Amino acid sequence: MRILNALVVDEIRDREDGGIDLVGLREDLYFDAVPVILETLTLFVELEITPADRGRRHTLEFRQVEAETGRVLKTIPLHFGIPPEHQRPTAPLDPTLFELPFENFGVYFLEIWVDGDPDRRIYLNALPRTAYGDA
């Protein structure tokens, strides 16, 4: 199993035709001040799976890392299974991460580990709200 796509979004909407809409794709997070705790962060993760992945339990581990120091600020495991009857070569997940700490303005990233192996990195830029203007 490996990650094909991993994106930070504001919202994921299911469509009647079976598709999904990803709303508010982002990398930049704006805060009035730091330190701050981000209450929720929504992700869209698309996995490529093999027949050997079906019918088994798996773990994605999300590690929030401060890029400058390499310090891991938070680790969040997500345990899930792929049903044996799942026939598609991909499987979407929409995890929501809770209470992520941002101690300083700057670059952070989420490392995503799949069943104990590092697979993907998503960057998060913690910026002062004034960097965006008056929004």
Residue 94 identity: D
Q: Residue 116: which residues within 8 A CB-CB, separation 6 or more?
A: 59, 61
Q: Are 113 and 3 in contact (CB under 8 A)?
A: no
Q: Residue 77 is part of a domain; what is its CATH number?
A: 2.60.40.1930
Residue with tokens 């199993």: 1
The pLDDT of residue 18: 84
pLDDT of residue 69: 95
**CA–CA separation, 32 and 17 (whole Å):** 40
The total number of structural domains in the chain stands at: 1
pLDDT score of 32 = 95
Domain hosting residue 56, numbered range: 2-132
User: Do 23 and 9 contact (CB within 8 A), yes or no?
Assistant: yes
Q: How far apart are the first and last CA of the chain?
A: 40
Beta-ladder partners of 98 = 40
Question: Has this prediction a pTM greater than 0.75?
Answer: yes
Cα 109 from Cα 98, distance rounded (Å):
15
108: nearest Cα among 60, 68, 62, 61:
68
Per-residue DSSP letter, 26: B
Q: Tokens for 53, please give them.
A: 């992945």
pLDDT for 133 equals 56
> Could you list the mean pLDDT of each consecutive 10-residue stretch along the chain, which spans 135 residues?
96 90 93 96 96 95 97 97 94 96 97 97 94 58
